[in-house]
């Protein structure tokens, strides 16, 4: 496992349940994954001799973040299969390459233009119209590396503010809701999908996810069909999440699902699969990376997940949220707490999540949001 965060930790838990041992390579030995790894190599992703030794000692390599440097992935690939492969990584690391590749696969994406100079940005803003979203082509996550252009006169400010680096300008999509589909594909091409899962964000960070999404059967089937096209088109072996903008019924062109971006790994929106499905996204990652076909996901009913950010923790070293409040709901409320073992809480930092399983998606959202509110009644929210 390349990467030491919570996705790595939940992968290791699933790997242990199947009898595998996991060697983690990440700079921080005491991170969420390092704490539960069977072996840990604490080096930087640029330390190629150490990466070669690591890859030579394992049966297969996967990762839990998409910004794995190309040289690191190549060094691993010389010794063991890297899943999902280098082509998928390359596509997911660059938003321009991602959008062009999706278009070539016939997958619907919103209007966009690559920009590598201020003059190109001004021309693109004139062509696409405003509002529009300027995003760095590489390296962004959780809304970092993005600026909204409300008018073409914002171009110079946004360009300077993002550091004059290669970018993509995207037309602002007037979406009805955001949804994601998490898929797992085996070496033999067998593919299973979770969702669509409906997602709401707060300060550009995922806040609450819920399944089922509430979209019509036809719209949900379109998202799953697009996901399968991407899994086959990129020959993904492993887990990949497709994030979509779901448009209203009167959207121009009739398209109801536009792909926003790809994450070639389990996704935060898929954390509810740990409690709401017989087989989680992490178990599927273990299975497919180790050469097994994915298992049927076995959905068990509606569920919602709420992220627990560092904002919920008292400031300074004043302890933790009041976990004992989680027992205070009605006996019907089925709540599950997951913590990632991070020593330091910071505003915006993902510290854990709560999942509620319920009779309806609305009840699941209610249960999980009410439980979270009880943990720290005066939640501080980072300014937008
Ligand atoms: P991303 O990092 O591309 O997932 O963007 C983070 C969030 O910003 C998305 O989940 C959307 O809520 C919003 N966003 C990004 N791109 C667009 C767009 N082209 N139109 C409207 N909202 C967007």
pLDDT-above-70 percentage for the chain = 96
Element containing residue 308 per DSSP (H, E): strand 303-309
Q: What does pTM read for this prediction?
A: 0.94
Ligand 1 center to residue 267 CA distance, Å?
16
* Ligand 1 atom nearest to 110, measured from its CA: 19
User: pLDDT at residue 29 above 90?
Assistant: no
User: pLDDT at residue 142 above 80?
Assistant: no
User: pLDDT at residue 272 above 90?
Assistant: yes
**What is the rounded average pLDDT for all residues in the chain?**
94
My answer on whether 279 and 205 are in the same domain is: yes
Which whole-number Å values give the CA distances from 192 to 48, 133, 161, 216, in the listed order? 35, 32, 41, 20
Q: Which domain holds residue 210?
A: 175-375
Q: Is the CB of 204 under 6 A from ligand 1?
A: yes
CATH code for position 75? 3.40.50.20
Tell me whether residue 160 is in a domain. yes
My answer on whether 190 and 290 are in the same domain is: yes
Counting the structural domains of the chain, the total is 3
My answer on whether 21 and 130 are in the same domain is: no
Residue in 189, 276, 176, 287 with CA at minimum distance from that of residue 223: 176
pLDDT tens string 182-230: 999 999 999 999 999 999 999 989 999 999 999 999 999 999 999 999 9
My answer on whether 34 and 179 are in the same domain is: no
303 vs 353: CA distance, rounded Å? 13
Place of tokens 């529009």: 132
Cis bond upstream, residue 25 (ω within 30): no
Q: What order of strands is seen across the sheet that includes strand 167-171?
A: 112-115, 167-171, 132-136, 146-149
E-assigned strands of 137-190? 146-149, 167-171, 177-185
139 vs 350: CA distance, rounded Å? 19
Query: So what's the pLDDT on residue 251?
Result: 85
Question: Rounded to 5 degrees, what are φ and ψ at 11?
Answer: -65, -45
Instruction: Determine the distance from the C-alpha atom of residue 231 to the mean position of all C-alpha atoms in its chain, rounded to a whole number.
Output: 16
Residue in 281, 209, 196 with CA at minimum distance from that of residue 245: 196
User: pLDDT at residue 322 above 90?
Assistant: no
Let me know if 216 is exposed, middle or buried by CB neighbors in 10 A (0-12, 13-18, 19+).
Answer: exposed
My answer on whether 139 and 223 are in the same domain is: no
Given ligand 1 and candidates 133, 178, 198, 267, which is best to mutate, with the most ligand atoms within 8 Å of its CB?
133
CATH code for position 157? 3.30.1490.20
Q: Residue 232's pLDDT band (boundaries 50, 70, 90)? A: very high
Ligand 1 center to residue 150 CA distance, Å?
14
Q: Residue 342's pLDDT band (boundaries 50, 70, 90)? A: very high
Q: Residue 331's pLDDT band (boundaries 50, 70, 90)? A: confident
My answer on whether 189 and 164 are in the same domain is: no
Asked if residue 150 lies in contact with residue 185, where contact means CB atoms within 8 angstroms, the answer is no
DSSP summary character for residue 82: B
Query: So what's the pLDDT on residue 377?
Result: 52
User: pLDDT at residue 327 above 80?
Assistant: no
- How wide is the angle at C-alpha 179 spanned by C-alphas 175 and 184, nearest 5°? 150
Let me know if 355 is exposed, middle or buried by CB neighbors in 10 A (0-12, 13-18, 19+).
Answer: buried
Asked if residue 166 lies in contact with residue 96, where contact means CB atoms within 8 angstroms, the answer is yes
Considering Cα of 358, then 362, then 368, then 374, what sign does the dihedral take? Answer: negative
Q: Would you list the DSSP string of 208-244?
A: EEEES----HHHHHHHHHHHHHHHHHTT--EEEEEEE
Given ligand 1 and candidates 260, 262, 384, which is best to mutate, with the most ligand atoms within 8 Å of its CB?
260
């Amino acid at each position: 496992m390349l990467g030491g965060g919570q996705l790595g930790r939940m992968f290791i838990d699933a790997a242990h349940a199947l009898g595998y041992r996991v060697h983690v390579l990440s700079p921080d030995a005491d991170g969420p994954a390092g704490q539960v790894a069977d072996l840990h190599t604490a080096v930087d992703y640029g330390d190629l001799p150490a990466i070669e030794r690591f890859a030579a000692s394992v049966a297969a390599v996967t990762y839990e973040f998409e910004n794995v440097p190309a040289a690191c992935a190549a060094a691993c690939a010389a010794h063991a299969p890297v899943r999902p492969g280098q082509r998928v990584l390359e596509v997911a690391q660059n938003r321009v390459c991602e959008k062009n590749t999706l278009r070539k696969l016939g997958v619907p994406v919103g209007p966009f233009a690559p920009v590598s100079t201020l003059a190109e940005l001004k021309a693109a803003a004139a062509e696409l119209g405003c509002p529009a979203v300027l995003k760095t082509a590489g390296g962004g996550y959780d809304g970092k590396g993005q600026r909204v252009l409300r008018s073409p006169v914002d171009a110079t400010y946004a360009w300077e503010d993002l550091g004059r680096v290669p970018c993509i300008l995207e037309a602002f999509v007037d979406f009805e809701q955001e949804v994601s589909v998490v898929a797992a594909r085996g070496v033999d091409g067998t593919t299973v999908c979770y969702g669509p899962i409906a997602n709401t964000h707060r300060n550009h960070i995922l806040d609450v996810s819920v399944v089922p999404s509430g979209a019509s059967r036809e719209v949900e089937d379109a998202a799953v069909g697009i996901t399968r096209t991407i899994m086959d088109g990129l020959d993904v072996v492993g887990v990949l999440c497709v994030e979509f903008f779901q448009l209203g019924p009167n959207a121009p062109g009739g398209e109801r699902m536009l792909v926003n971006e790809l994450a070639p790994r389990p996704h935060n929106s898929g954390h509810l699969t740990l409690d709401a499905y017989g087989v989680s996204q992490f178990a599927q990652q273990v299975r497919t990376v180790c050469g097994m076909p994915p298992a049927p996901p076995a959905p068990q009913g509606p569920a919602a997940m709420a992220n627990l950010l560092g904002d919920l923790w008292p400031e300074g070293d004043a302890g933790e949220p009041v976990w004992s409040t989680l027992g205070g709901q009605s006996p019907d409320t089925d709540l599950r707490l997951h913590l990632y073992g991070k020593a330091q809480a910071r505003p915006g930092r993902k510290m854990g999540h709560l999942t509620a399983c319920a009779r309806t998606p609305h009840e699941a959202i209610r249960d999980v949001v009410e439980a979270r509110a009880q943990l720290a009644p005066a939640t501080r929210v980072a300014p937008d």
